[in-house]
Structure 1
Amino acid sequence: MAKITVFLVGLLTLSAMLASYLAAYAQERRKLPGAREFMLICAGNTLYALGYIVELLSADLALRFWAIRMEYIGLAFMPSLFLLFALRLFRNRSARPLELYALMAIPLVTLVLVWTSPFHELYYRNPYILTGGPIAAFMFERGFYFYINAIYQTLLMSAGSVLLFILAVKTSGRKRLQAFTLAAGSLLPLLNGLVYLFGFIPAGMDTGSLALSLAVLVYAFALFKLGLFELLPAARALAIDTINEGLIVLDSAGRLQDLNRAARTFPHFAEAREGEPLPLPSPVSECINRLCAEGTEAAEASLLDSGGNERHYQLRSYPVYAGNGTRQGTAVLVSDITEKALLIEQLDTLARTDELTGILNRRSFLEFGALELERSRRQRLPLGVLMVDIDLFKNVNDQYGHDTGDKVLVKVSSVLKDMLRSIDILGRYGGEEFVALLPGADARASFAAAERCREAVGKIAFPAGGKPVSITLSIGVHTRISEENSTIQEVIACADIALYQAKNKGRNQSCVYTLL
């Protein structure tokens, strides 16, 4: 046996073993994009390599024909499978049935013609074995359909390579290297086919086995060194780059493995590099690291954008597993919920404030009042309470209309806010009644505040019905001392009693609560 034959048989045996292992490896990960197609390509390569081994070792023409038939079970379909593989990665979805039928039609015809070759001359003409060269070569004249199949396979391999190169250009980091490696591996059998088709290879020499063996080595590099089918398939970049949410993928060591275009718009993330820790300082980065460290599923973070506006983000983490079930890292989906947060804030404001005047409504005032009452008790501080009522407000509504009455309420609430301190709490208690809490104000200070408010409102002339109308206030004043153990409702009730004392005395005055 010639040395070159021994070399080729050894090379093909290694190629078949490696291709078989890659096929089994891909089969275990068949649920990942492209894994099933890759498995079939490797299985076809195994059949081709084993068939060519039999062809090299046989001196009988009939046995060689049988070996060639076995080779074509894999060889005829490999270009179609390669294009399906590239399409699966590029589009991130499986081929439709019609696409499968179209791509497999010519390979099926090729397989039938090769297997029935002794009965026609459409593929092989006048086959024989050429001896005297480095190897005993299978020789034949090319039939008409041989060229159809060759052109078809060349077009499919070219299309698949172009798609992988486009995929590489559109992605980045390790995904780009994966796509470039797969595209480069596909160029080896493609170029070999072109050289063979145009007659640049000596007669009887089949270098396709060598090209496919080298391609298998390249694919093995992509599989094991670059992690194809492991953490994040390269094709997913096209899909995840179209979503509005940011997607950030970390490995088990907390190093960045992938992020989409939306994630790169986050502050400090534009220059993030794959293989390195997340950029700091950033509330989003800190939140992601906390999610990974604590194993929690969701969190929220806020930060300022380049314009100084506050943005709110919701983060959800998902574990990423390899095909064998081992955890490879964490994927974090980051959603911009700023509009939702602002809407909730607006709804909360609406729920807490009076729609007409913009100050606290009764329910919210009582909630804040209870907290302020407890704080004054702990700190042993007095707490002043003012119960304010617009005198004869019903007459304003009856004589000038409710629109004028609403304007009076708005103006009075505005004047009260101006006359009170920033730490004081003002609310609309109901109708034309207002209530205010004055933290730390004793009886003297509370009464002074009441008089200040009453006098300020009394100086305002409200336009109504073409003439100015004066408004007066009656105010009840009560001061709770720290030793008292009373509720906010009880404190307000005391101020309310003082208010009615002011009304009974003729209105437009402030009265301090006294026990009757």
Structure 2
Amino acid sequence: MEFRSILLILLFTAGIISLFLSVYSFNFRSTLLIKYFRILGAAVAVYAFGYGFELTSSTLSDMLFWSKIQYIGISVLPGLVLMIAICYTGKEKWQTHGNLMVIFIIPLITLVSRELNDFHHLFYKTVSINTASPFPMLEFERGPFYLLHDFYTNIALIITTILFLQFVIRAAAFYRKQAIAMLVATFIQWVGFIFYLFVDIPWNFDINPLLFAASVPVFAVGIFKFSLFDLAPVARDNIFEELKDGILVLNLENRLVDFNQVCKKIFPDISKQNIGLNIRTNLGNSHKINEILSSNISPQDEVLIMEGNKVLYFHLSVSALFNRENKKIGTIIIFKDISLQKNLMVKLEKMASIDELTNIYNRRYLISLSEIEIAKTKRSGRSISILLIDLDDFKVVNDHFGHLLGDKVLKVFTRIVKESIRNIDIFGRYGGEEFVIIMPETSPEKAFIVAERVRESICRNPLKIGDKQIHLTVSTGVFGTAENKFLAFDKLLDFADKALYKAKKAGRNRTIIQE
């Protein structure tokens, strides 16, 4: 087999492999990294096929035509390799429209100057056919735009190498293999470019399409094989389209493989430096993720996270992740922010249980809590007491001062009562100006003391409402059950009401115990 045939087989094979990997990348979610790799594979294929057809040409015009085709791929290769390095190493701040224009302005100049070389001869000064070679080959003298492209390629490869070297040094052990693969791919490109520039290759044969094509599968290994091929693309295809929830992806060893930007907002401490670390043991005891996942969580659970003085609620969903062969390869953890729903539920519960005016329990919730407390008392065998308090002649206050000021009186009254009772006591508005206090583990005699303390505090200290002083008195009926004597709430209330009636009949401003 003649030498040209061998070269053509190598070039067309290189082009086919590069094109195949470019098309194959469509099986994965189109991240910026995947997009640049996809274009790189296509550009290398154009380069390899174009050079192959150039070598099959026998006329200068055909060679120049295929040379122009090649530069559709050649011109963008340095920029694509650099962008792959930027994306791969997580230099998000570099990925701006301005930087993109800077990176690809020289490739654009290279492409335009090559395509229009017939008019200015600044890319190739002269072109001819080398007849001394075993088969016709294009021979040319390099012009300034050609040298500009060479200089730019050197700079791009230098920056790419530095980025990958830094990444290899700093990367977690879990990702170091794939980072080394990316570095090896860059070195392969370096070898081809340096040989082409400084080594006297017979007949000026261009080995770059072969070496660039050799770097494409190595790039594919670095991008796909070690984690992205087995785990991250599957995870991203399944769930990363919906970015409103925080997402963590772990492998079988509980190492962090991926996370989205929403997750970073939930856990500001998480970073790409955590990728590859065991999330349960290597993030430190103070890390919020570690705190949550180290606890016993169910596949569907709710967790709360403190953000300063603010409490955030999340629905935590833990699901197994399977590949196309239905083999478990990791875990997806989704944090769905349910703070709005939770806060709404709290407000609704408060509206359903709290008296809007006095901010204490309303009648319905008061009765419900009282019945629960009475049931507890029955089980414990201890005593319980009830106080039924009525504001004396409160209608006169409303008629004389108005309902607006009357409402303020009720608010001040409830504040005074709250200061006089325990946290375990149940205090609620039964209706109008009547209030009920349930006092667990309290005898009627002790309840009487509390009622008197409240009465005297109200009686001796006029309520100050704005610039007005309102003299108010209260009457209270007290009833309590001794140990092993239990009654339902309505019965307790009925006895307390009878005591209250006696207090009113006796002249108000007093406390009566119902025997």
Fold similarity call, TM over 0.5: yes
Call closer, same or farther: CA 1:395–1:50 in 2, change over 3 Å.
closer
Q: Which amino acid aligns with 1:285?
A: N
The equivalent residue for 1:440 is 441
Question: Could you give the per-residue CA deviations for residues 356-385 of structure 1, whole angstroms, max 9, x where no partner exists?
Answer: 444323233222112112212222333211
What secondary structure is seen at the aligned counterpart in 2 of 1:398? helix
Could you state the TM-score of these two structures normalised by the residue count of structure 1?
0.69
- Given the superposition, is the C-alpha separation of residues 310 and 106 from structure 1 closer, same or farther in structure 2, using an over 3 Å criterion? closer
Residues 312-344 of structure 1, C-alpha deviation per residue, up to 9 Å, x if partnerless?
341554776768886643443546777886676
Q: 1:382–1:441: 8 Å Cα contact kept in structure 2? A: yes
Counterpart amino acid of 2:72?
Answer: A
d(CA) in 1 for partners of 2:71 and 2:342? 59
Q: 1:26 to 1:465 in 2, by over 3 A?
A: closer
Per the alignment, residue 131 of structure 2 pairs with: 129
Q: Kindly tell me: are residues 349 and 283 of structure 1, through their superposed partners in 2, closer, same or farther at Cα, counting changes over 3 Å?
A: farther
Alignment of 1:266-305 (within 5 A): 272=274, 274-279=276-281, 281=285, 284-285=289-290, 287-288=292-293, 295-296=299-300, 299-302=301-304
Q: Cα distance 1:455–1:83, how it changes in 2: closer, same or farther (>3 A)? A: same
Report deviation, 1:436.
Answer: 0.4
Match of 1:399 in 2: 400
Measure the CA separation in 1 of the matches of 2:61 and 2:325. 41
Kindly indicate whether the alpha-carbon contact (under 8 Å) linking 2:44 and 2:77 is maintained by their aligned counterparts in 1.
no
Matches within 5 A, 1:334-349: 334=335, 345=346, 348-349=349-350
Partner of 1:205: 205
User: What is the deviation of 1:511?
Assistant: 2.8
Range with greater deviation from structure 2 (486-495 or 191-200): 191-200
1:38 corresponds to 2:37: yes
Which sections of structure 1, spanning at least 5 residues, go unmatched? none
1:496 CA displacement: 2.3
Q: Which residue of 1 aligns with 2:385?
A: 384
> 1:498: how far off?
2.6
SS in 1 for 2:399: helix
- Residue type of the partner of 2:290? S
Q: Distance in 1 between matches of 2:110 and 2:193?
A: 16
Aligned positions, number: 485
Q: Is 1:265 aligned to 2:268, yes or no?
A: yes
Percent of counterpart pairs with the same letter?
26
Matches within 5 A, 1:65-464: 73=69, 76-77=72-73, 79-80=75-76, 83=79, 125-131=127-133, 138-142=137-141, 151=148, 182=182, 185=185, 189=189, 192=192, 196=196, 203-228=203-228, 230-232=230-232, 247-259=247-259, 261-262=264-265, 265=268, 272=274, 274-279=276-281, 281=285, 284-285=289-290, 287-288=292-293, 295-296=299-300, 299-302=301-304, 311-317=311-317, 328-334=329-335, 345=346, 348-349=349-350, 352-402=353-403, 404-462=405-463
Structure 1 residues 186-221: Cα deviation after superposition (integer angstroms, max 9, x where no partner): 575478558757997665232224432442353243
For residue 26 of structure 1, what is the amino acid of its counterpart?
Answer: S
Q: Aligned-residue CA RMSD in angstroms?
A: 5.4
AA aligned opposite 1:278: R
Deviations for 1:295-323, whole angstroms, at most 9, x for unmatched residues? 54xx3323567x7x574341554776768
Q: State the TM-score, normalized to the length of structure 2.
A: 0.69
Secondary structure of the structure 2 residue equivalent to 1:253: coil
Give the Cα separation in 1 of the matches to 2:430 and 2:502: 18
Whether the aligned pair in 2 keeps the contact of 1:83 and 1:160 (CA below 8 Å) is no
- Whole-Å Cα distance in 2 between the matches of residues 417 and 28 of structure 1? 66
Aligned-partner Cα distance in 1 for 2:487–2:154: 86
Give the alignment of 1:457-496 within 5 angstroms: 457-462=458-463, 470-480=471-481, 487-496=488-497
Amino acid at match of 1:391: D
Q: Which residue of 2 aligns with 1:19?
A: 18
Structure 1 distance, partners of 2:468, 2:19, is 99
Equivalent residue of 1:76, what SS?
helix
**Does the C-alpha gap of structure 1 residues 191 and 283 become closer, same or farther in structure 2, counting only changes over 3 Å?**
closer
Kindly indicate whether the alpha-carbon contact (under 8 Å) linking 2:383 and 2:441 is maintained by their aligned counterparts in 1.
Answer: yes
Deviations 1:385-419 (A, max 9, x none): 11101111222333344465345433432333333
- Whether the 8 Å contact between 1:365 and 1:427 is mirrored in structure 2 is yes
Displacement of 1:28? 3.2
What letter matches 1:276 in structure 2?
Answer: N
